[in-house]
Structure 1
Amino acid sequence: MAKKKKLGYEESLHKLEEILNKVENEDIPIDQLTAYVNESMELLKNCKAMLKNAENRVEGAFNDLEE
């Protein structure tokens, strides 16, 4: 099985916006809605992890400046 490519932050946000637009503007079967919710959760986890990583790097950079 092929491994999914991990999306960058901007790509993840764009995909979340696409999903939100579909959910808001289309009649979606419950099975597809469930798939969208699951995909959205994974995208949000990815974004959160990237933001946390960026925060840690910024804090580390400031700590290095203080030394």
Structure 2
Amino acid sequence: MAKKKQLGYEESLHKLEEILNKVEHEEIPIDQLTELVNESMELLKNCKSMLKGAEKKVENAFNEMED
């Protein structure tokens, strides 16, 4: 089984917006809604991870400037 390509931050955010729009404007069967919620959670985890990584890099850069 092939491993899924991890989306970038902007791609993840765009996908989350698409899901939100779909949930807000369409009638979605509960099974599909559950899948969309699960997908949204993975996208949010991905975004959070990338933001934490960027924060760490910024902190390291400032720490290096202080040395």
Equivalent residue for 1:46? 46
The runs of 5 or more residues in structure 1 that have no matched partner are none
Residues 32-63 of structure 1 deviation map (CA, whole Å, 9 limit, x = unaligned): 00000000000000000000000000000000
Residues 3-47 of structure 1 deviation map (CA, whole Å, 9 limit, x = unaligned): 100000000000000000000000000000000000000000000
Root-mean-square deviation over aligned CA pairs: 0.3
User: 1:28 aligns to what SS in structure 2?
Assistant: coil
Equivalent residue for 1:55? 55
Q: Could you tell me the percent identity over the aligned residues?
A: 81
Equivalent residue for 1:21? 21
TM-score, normalization by structure 2: 0.99
Q: How many aligned residue pairs are there?
A: 67
The runs of 5 or more residues in structure 2 that have no matched partner are none
Runs (4 or more) in structure 1 with deviation over 3 Å come to: none
